[in-house]
Amino acid sequence: MNGKKNNLKVCLAASAGGHLTQLLQLWPSWENYEVFYVTTGENIKGRIDKPGRVYTVEECNRKNPVKLARVFFRCMKIALRERPDVVISTGAASGALMSYLCKMLGAKIVWMDSITNTQRLSLSGRLVRPIADLILTQWQDIAEKYPKVEYAGQVI
């Protein structure tokens, strides 16, 4: 490419660790777009070696509703500030929250379930499936179990 950025703004939302690692494996897919990240853990900021703003939120899940509420409001603030055109997420909870919040703002949602989910879609993937524009699994068997879920190969 000629190095020019496309006007499309992409939110890459993934928990630190394996979720983020899988997402970053696909960097060439969005390197020519304006990108920002939403991930967990302050210590991850300096470890993302790709261009784009990095926002961090707490790790959360349904078992801690207070923490989940804090992450929800932090994600809402990020979504309203950035207003992405597309959200691409590998999970988990913060990726699902960004997907729902940004969908309400008109974003397209691409969910790629983690490779570790070998038997069924993750809880976050199942929650996002009704609003997602594209859901990908890294296992052919899982794609056959769920409507609107596609298999396109494995990332790692």
Tens digit of pLDDT for each residue in 24-68? 999 999 999 999 999 998 778 777 888 999 999 999 999 999 999
Query: Over 70: is that where the pLDDT of 5 sits?
Result: no
Query: Over 70: is that where the pLDDT of 2 sits?
Result: no
Q: Which helix (H) or strand (E) holds 76?
A: helix 65-82
- What angle, rounded to 10 degrees, do the helices at 93-104 and 65-82 form? 40
Cβ contacts of 154 within 8 Å, gap of 6 or more:
115, 138
**Residue position matching structure tokens 């509420």:** 69
Q: Which helix (H) or strand (E) holds 38?
A: strand 33-40
pLDDT for res 114: 87
Paired strand residues for 14 = 91
Q: In angstroms, what CA-CA distances link 106 with 12, 63, 98?
A: 16, 29, 12
d(CA 45, CA 14): 13
Strands 6-14 and 33-40: parallel
d(CA 141, CA 120): 9
Residues 96-154: pLDDT tens digits?
Answer: 999 999 999 999 999 999 888 899 999 999 999 999 999 999 999 999 999 999 998 88
pLDDT for res 44: 82
Task: Locate 140 and state its tokens.
Answer: 């052919």
